[in-house]
Amino acid sequence: MKEQFRQHIEQTSPISEETFDYIFTFFKAKKIRKNSIIIDNGDLVSHEFWVSKGCLKASYILEDGKEKIIRFAVEDWWVSDYDAYFKNKPATLTIESLEDCEVLVLSFNDREKLCKEIPEMSYFFRKKIEGAYAAFQKRLVSMLSNDARQHYEIFTQQYPMLIGRLPKSIIASYLGITRETLSRISNTPL
Amino acid sequence: MKEQFRQHIEQTSPISEETFDYIFTFFKAKKIRKNSIIIDNGDLVSHEFWVSKGCLKASYILEDGKEKIIRFAVEDWWVSDYDAYFKNKPATLTIESLEDCEVLVLSFNDREKLCKEIPEMSYFFRKKIEGAYAAFQKRLVSMLSNDARQHYEIFTQQYPMLIGRLPKSIIASYLGITRETLSRISNTPL
């Protein structure tokens, strides 16, 4: 996991072995069983998670109990309720594992400390959040366009590794469409 | 405008006068007339804008010509098509002034140079984009919840300065509701 994480961090800047060893001390490895809730609506959120293995979903539960999936996180992605994490507020999202997962956990205070001490980490996290913001803008545009086929295309670009890996019902829920519509636009049987 | 911008930048860290004078050389002041398009769908986007005065909207135009408003930008906000700006791609959004505006313009290359040379600016832009990401997550949740009253409440929290300043038709378009519904939930005449 350590080598995978190093490659991930070095996507933005090369880092010496000594510095990386120091960076790695800020993270705590954790195994998560399938169907575990790691952040629940109402929790104070002081941690974010980097996914080494597995898949999680971040959802919003409506008052009538219906679930709306905001996003997924798979290998090399980061996940948290960022509205809560960045602003030290209770979570509005619920984050749950869809598979057995292995993650690295980082606290908000350690994230800030890392960024202050190591310019490469400040750059890394700035680039990561810029990418996440751009992806969110794309998802918003896709939702507003209200075109199921376009939603699906953007989904396949963003999460090609999830096609065939997740139950169709979960993909349909993310897209806000029925399984029948998903089957029609993806040209695959239910 | 320079003093307003300095106060804005110093929200995250104090900056010496000398350093601020240097930072300010990276920005170009520009006046924009009402109803001008400053970024058009298809443009390569190499600049972002900090609003000193006025109001702009970022929209997505559907194939049938209908407009969906993604967000507004008013005094002290930053605006661009960030998916395009961060990734050096053509714009999918259109950004247009709703009032006469005064802005400061920053190129992507200058932004990166500023962040590299001045740790306070790297911190500033990281904090700004974290806040923008959190706001986007909130907007997405609000849209998925599909509750016009909740949309309106989040809108009034996020843009209190726009109530009474923008035409009701534009606010309704942002919320994805009719003017009649907006009038009902905001308890104000059309």
| B15 is a domain residue | yes
In a domain, A140, yes or no: no
Structural domain of A178: 146-190
Rounded mean pLDDT, A63-92: 92
At residue B178, the 3 state secondary structure works out as coil
A143 touches chain B (CB under 8 A): yes
Residues A49 and A95 both lie in one domain: yes
Q: Is residue A85 part of a domain?
A: yes
Mean pLDDT score across all residues of chain B = 91
The confidence score (pLDDT) of residue A146 equals 67
State the pLDDT at residue A153.
85
Q: Which of B92, B119, B140 sits opposite A70 (nearest CB)?
A: B140
Q: How confident is the model at residue B68 (pLDDT cuts 50, 70, 90)?
A: confident
A93 touches chain B (CB under 8 A): yes
- Higher per-residue confidence, A142 vs A41: A41
Structure tokens at B100: 């006469």
In a domain, A67, yes or no: yes
* Judgement on whether residues A68 and A116 belong to the same structural domain of the protein: yes
- Verify that A115 and A150 share a domain, yes or no: no
Q: Under a CB-based contact definition with an 8 Å cutoff, are residues B130 and B59 in contact? A: no
Say how many domains are in chain A.
2
A61 is a domain residue:
yes
Query: Residues B106-140, buried b or exposed e (16+ Cβ, 10 A)?
Result: bebebbeebbeebebbbbbbbbbbbebbbbbbbbb
For position B6, which CATH number holds?
A: 2.60.120.10
Name the residue among B60, B126, B141 with its Cβ closest to that of A126.
B126
* Mean of pLDDT values over A21-47: 96
Does B38 fall in a domain? Answer: yes
Query: Quick one: A12 and A100 in the same domain?
Result: yes
Q: Which amino acid is at A129?
A: I
pLDDT tens for each residue of A105-123: 999 999 999 999 999 999 9
On whether both A117 and A176 belong to a single domain, the answer is: no
Residue A162 inside a domain? The answer is yes
Instruction: For residue B64, give the chain A residue with the closest CA.
Output: A145
> Are the C-beta atoms of residues A187 and A181 closer than 8 Å to each other?
no
- Regarding whether A103 and A66 lie in a shared domain, the answer is yes
Residues A183, A121 within the same domain: no
User: Which of the listed residues A131, A154, A181 is the one where a domain comes to its end?
Assistant: A131
Whether the pLDDT of residue B190 is over 70: the answer is no
What pLDDT is recorded for position B163? 86
- Binary contact (A126, B122; C-beta < 8 A): yes
Percent of chain A with pLDDT over 70: 98
Higher pLDDT, A4 or A136: A4
For residue A128, the distance in angstroms to the closest alpha carbon of chain B comes to 10
- Please tell me whether residues A8 and A74 are part of one structural domain: yes
For residues A123 and A165, membership in a common domain is answered with no
Interface of B with A in 13-72 (CB under 8 A): 60, 62, 68, 70
Closest CA to B178 of B148, B154, B140, B139: B148
Chosen domain end from A99, A131, A163: A131
Answer yes or no: do B132 and A130 touch at CB < 8 A: no
Is it the case that residue B59 has pLDDT exceeding 50?
yes
The answer to whether B126 contacts A122, with C-beta atoms less than 8 Å apart, is: yes
B108 at A interface, C-beta within 8 A: no
Per the model's pLDDT, the better-predicted residue between A140 and B9 turns out to be: B9
Per-residue model confidence as pLDDT tens digits over B150-169: 888 888 888 888 888 998 88
Give yes or no: residues A95 and A188 share one domain.
no
Q: Is residue A35 a part of any domain in this protein?
A: yes
ipTM: 0.87
